[in-house]
């Protein structure tokens, strides 16, 4: 589809559909990626439906395109597997900085999960079992709250300038503030500093050093289970990742739908 054709047909869409289609524009360009081609086909069909005043069909086709784009984001892998478990609700891709993110962790028995969501649609969720180096009790929960922050930040080559990260765990927040102040040697009780086979540094050592280099990042408290959309989304993702370790269900569409719903609430509130 030529750029002029795209823009001319785009003008036929009402504002909500117009904005969603615009964020998917990149997928309408020529590509050798089969997944991107399928997303682009859905967008082009949505615009064709709009041309014939079939706005309901156009909306459904954009729903399909966004779902495929989210799944494509989860399936993509970088060389070091940094994209594992990540996805994006692309309709919020044009969200202006500064960005706001929320992270959370869930633990029950010997199984846990971590999750994060960013106001521009990025999100991630991972389940994990108990490692042989993991401590027990409250320290285990604290360490995983901090791992959730690391999971968020390692999703970027360089975390966006001025991003705010919300946590509902005050103990984790205190460590982040200490690290940002230069106390990078402070670690939760029971956290092992032994060399890892899979990494040059233990996760929290790496996180502490990264946070110390980024005074522009803001780490702030949000009360858990208070209805804050980003916190509720991160909480839901962490619980979903934990449950997936023990139950069989299709994780990707559930995670995408959860994030989409809470981000819609977040942006509606932020626009007021």
DSSP for 8-32, please give it. HHHTTS-HHHHHHHHHTGGGGS--S
Task: Name the residue among 236, 241, 238 with its Cα closest to residue 259.
Answer: 236
Query: Which residue, 175, 171, 164, 160, is CA-closest to 228?
Result: 164
The whole-number pLDDT of residue 78 equals 35
Give φ, ψ of 120 to 5 degrees.
Answer: -95, 15
pLDDT digits (tens, 9 = 90+) for 119-169: 999 999 999 887 777 776 778 889 999 999 999 999 988 899 999 999 999
Q: Do the Cβ atoms of 124 and 115 come closer than 8 Å?
A: yes
pTM of the predicted structure, to 2 decimals: 0.70
| CA-based torsion, 30, 35, 39, 41: positive or negative | positive
> Where do we find the tokens 């997928």?
27
What pLDDT does 197 receive?
65
User: Please, which residues have CB within 8 angstroms of residue 266's CB and are 6 or more apart in sequence?
Assistant: 119, 229, 230, 233
Contact 103, 145 (CB under 8 A): yes
What confidence score (pLDDT) does residue 20 get? 78
Computed over every residue of the chain, the mean pLDDT equals 85
Q: Which tens digit of pLDDT belongs to each residue from 5-23? A: 666 777 777 877 877 787 7
Residue 212 CA to residue 205 CA, distance in Å, equals: 11
How far apart CA 266 and CA 272 sit, in angstroms, is 10
Give the span between the Cα atoms of 139 and 241, in whole angstroms. 20
Model pLDDT for residues 13-60, shown as the tens digit of each residue:
787 787 778 777 777 777 667 778 888 888 889 888 888 888 889 889
Q: What is the pLDDT of residue 5?
A: 65
- Copy the structure tokens of residue 251: 């994780």
Buried b (16+ CB within 10 A) or exposed e, 214-230: beebebeebeeeeebbb
């Amino acid at each position: 589809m030529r750029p002029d054709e795209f823009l001319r047909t785009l003008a036929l869409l009402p504002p909500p559909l117009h904005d969603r289609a615009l964020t998917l524009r990149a997928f309408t360009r020529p590509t050798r990626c089969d997944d991107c081609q399928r997303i682009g086909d859905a967008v082009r069909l949505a615009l064709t439906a709009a041309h014939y005043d079939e706005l309901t069909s156009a909306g459904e086709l954009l729903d399909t395109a966004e779902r495929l784009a989210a799944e494509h984001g989860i399936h993509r892998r970088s060389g070091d597997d940094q994209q594992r478990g990540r996805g994006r609700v692309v309709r919020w891709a044009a969200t202006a900085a500064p960005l706001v993110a929320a992270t959370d962790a869930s633990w029950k028995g010997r199984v846990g999960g971590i999750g994060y969501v960013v106001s521009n649609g990025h999100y991630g969720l991972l389940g994990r079992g108990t490692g042989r180096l993991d401590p027990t009790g409250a320290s285990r929960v604290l360490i995983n709250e901090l791992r959730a922050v690391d999971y968020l930040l390692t999703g970027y080559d360089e975390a966006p300038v001025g991003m705010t990260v919300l946590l509902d765990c005050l103990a984790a927040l205190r460590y982040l503030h200490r690290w940002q102040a230069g106390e990078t040697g402070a670690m939760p009780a029971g956290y092992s500093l032994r060399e890892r086979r899979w990494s040059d540094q233990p996760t929290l050592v790496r996180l502490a050093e990264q946070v110390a280099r980024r005074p522009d990042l803001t780490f702030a408290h949000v009360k858990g289970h208070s209805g804050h959309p980003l916190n509720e989304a991160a909480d839901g993702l962490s619980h979903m990742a934990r449950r997936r370790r023990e139950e069989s269900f299709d994780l990707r569409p559930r995670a995408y739908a959860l994030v989409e719903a809470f981000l819609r609430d977040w942006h509606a509130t932020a626009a007021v």
